[in-house]
Amino acid sequence: MDTLIWIGAAISLLGLIGLVWSIIKVARAKRANLTDEELRKAVQAVMPLNLGALFLSVIGLMIVIVGIFLG
């Protein structure tokens, strides 16, 4: 079951990278001195990436927990 734990950790790491990437994109948009409407559009464009990355992190952690229970 060690492979299941490592697969889950890798998936969770991909999700974490996606979360950091979405934070960087929003921070860049805030530093660009956009208008309120433009900033709102930029944040809305990042939301699918953010939610997908959060989903990957949760699924990866679930796989790790299953691997620990089965191991």
Whole-number Cα distances in Å, 54 to 2, 36, 49: 23, 26, 8
* Nearest Cα to Cα of residue 12 among 67, 70, 44: 67
pLDDT at 26: 96
Q: What is the pLDDT of residues 26-61, one digit of tens each?
A: 999 999 989 999 999 999 999 999 999 999 999 999
Q: Is 41 helix (H, G, I), strand (E, B) or coil?
A: helix
pLDDT at 55: 97
The domain ranges of the chain are: 2-70
Whole-number Cα distances in Å, 2 to 29, 41, 49, 68: 41, 43, 29, 8
Q: Which amino acid is at 28?
A: R
pTM: 0.88
The yes-or-no verdict on residue 1 having pLDDT over 90 is no
Work out the number of other CB atoms within 10 angstroms of the CB of residue 23. Answer: 13
